[in-house]
């Protein structure tokens, strides 16, 4: 059953992109990210996330169609503001969309979308995706000015970029955690619901899962990478336990 109901404990949405990265390394039919998504669901994941990039470096158009046929939790599609990507997103049948910046040379999504600068394009994209039937989120840095701009657009969700937190250590990481905590508070005060993700792993997720108001965590690389050693079922179960244990 798919749901956007507020949950007392953050939901785990597994990002399956990098299963497709391995497949595309050889242009083979395996490992199949769709089959892997079903294993995540069977292990308890609450949703499946993927990013259809313009360069098609991992997820392919056919994957989206196949995911739509079999995913029974919630399908969350990340896409850029490029018109051709929005057109594909509109016909994808996804229950959720996350608008992300996209830079051809980046290794992964590097920063949040600059909502202030992109407001004109967002004014077109948000109603298009909402009409397509999905709850729209914007991937955003934990910056109050960006959050205010997102609220002004009337999106229901933002996804807070946790990359700076994940990359930092010691006092800098503590400061980034504080920024995310404050951003979650600010977002809810201006009427936004809050998700988070990027760079989260088995060591750094618990403090993020403990932040009040965060409803959903999008986690990809760490789960895919560790599953090579420990298997997908154990990795999803371990991550779910870790998230559940982070809330009092």
- On whether the CB atoms of residues 74 and 96 are closer than 8 A, the answer is yes
Question: Cβ of residue 93: shortest distance to ligand PXP, in angstroms?
Answer: 20
Task: Assess whether 58 carries a catalytic annotation.
Answer: no
User: Which lies closer to ligand PXP via its Cβ, residue 17 or residue 176?
Assistant: 17
User: Which lies closer to ligand PXP via its Cβ, residue 71 or residue 139?
Assistant: 139
Q: What SS3 state is found at 92?
A: coil
Tokens of 118: 């992109």
List 18, 46, 78, 215, catalytic entry:
78
CA–CA distance, 248 with 127 (Å, rounded to integer): 37
Task: Assess whether 106 carries a catalytic annotation.
Answer: no
Task: Assess whether 198 carries a catalytic annotation.
Answer: yes
Question: Cβ of residue 24: shortest distance to ligand PXP, in angstroms?
Answer: 15
Give the residue ranges of DSSP H helices in the chain.
17-26, 33-42, 61-70, 83-90, 115-131, 144-153, 163-167, 170-189, 205-209, 221-230, 232-246
DSSP designation for 230: H
* Helices and strands (DSSP H and E) totals, the chain: 11, 8
- How far the first Cα of the chain sits from its last, in Å, is 26
User: Which lies closer to ligand PXP via its Cβ, residue 12 or residue 38?
Assistant: 12
Question: Cβ of residue 136: shortest distance to ligand PXP, in angstroms?
Answer: 13
- On whether the CB atoms of residues 7 and 198 are closer than 8 A, the answer is no
Other CB atoms within 10 Å distance of the CB of residue 45 = 26
Question: Cβ of residue 191: shortest distance to ligand PXP, in angstroms?
Answer: 21
Residues that bind ligand PXP (CB under 6 A): 15, 17, 51, 78, 98, 100, 108-109, 139, 159, 197-200, 218-222
User: Which lies closer to ligand PXP via its Cβ, residue 47 or residue 248?
Assistant: 47
User: Which lies closer to ligand PXP via its Cβ, residue 103 or residue 108?
Assistant: 108
Question: Cβ of residue 166: shortest distance to ligand PXP, in angstroms?
Answer: 7
Q: What SS3 state is found at 81?
A: coil
List 51, 58, 161, 186, catalytic entry:
51
Can you give the length of the chain in residues?
248
Distances (CA, A) of 77 to 100, 134, 182, 198, 230: 10, 9, 27, 15, 27
Annotated catalytic residues are 51, 78, 198
């Amino acid at each position: 059953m798919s749901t956007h109901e507020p949950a007392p404990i953050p939901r785990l949405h597994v990002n399956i992109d990098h299963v497709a990265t391995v497949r595309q390394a050889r242009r083979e039919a395996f490992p199949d990210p769709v089959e892997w998504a079903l294993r995540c669901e069977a292990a308890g994941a609450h949703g499946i996330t993927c990013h259809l990039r313009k360069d098609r470096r991992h997820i392919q158009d056919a994957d989206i169609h196949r995911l739509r046929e079999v995913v029974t939790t919630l399908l969350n599609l990340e896409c850029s503001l490029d018109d051709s990507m929005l057109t594909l997103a509109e016909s994808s049948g996804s229950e959720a969309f996350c608008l992300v910046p996209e830079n051809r040379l980046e290794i992964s999504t590097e920063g949040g979308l600059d909502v202030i600068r992109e407001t004109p394009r967002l004014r077109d994209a948000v109603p298009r995706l909402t009409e397509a039937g999905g709850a729209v989120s914007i991937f955003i840095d934990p910056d109050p000015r960006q959050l205010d701009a997102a609220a002004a657009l009337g999106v229901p969700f933002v996804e807070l970029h946790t990359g700076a937190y994940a990359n930092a250590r010691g006092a800098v990481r503590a400061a980034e955690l504080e920024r995310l905590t404050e951003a979650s508070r600010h977002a809810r005060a201006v009427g936004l619901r809050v998700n988070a993700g990027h760079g989260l792993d088995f060591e750094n997720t618990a403090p993020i899962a403990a932040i009040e108001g965060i409803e959903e965590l999008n986690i990809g690389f760490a789960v895919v990478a560790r599953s090579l050693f420990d298997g997908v079922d154990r990795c999803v179960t371990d991550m779910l336990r870790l998230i559940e244990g982070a809330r009092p």
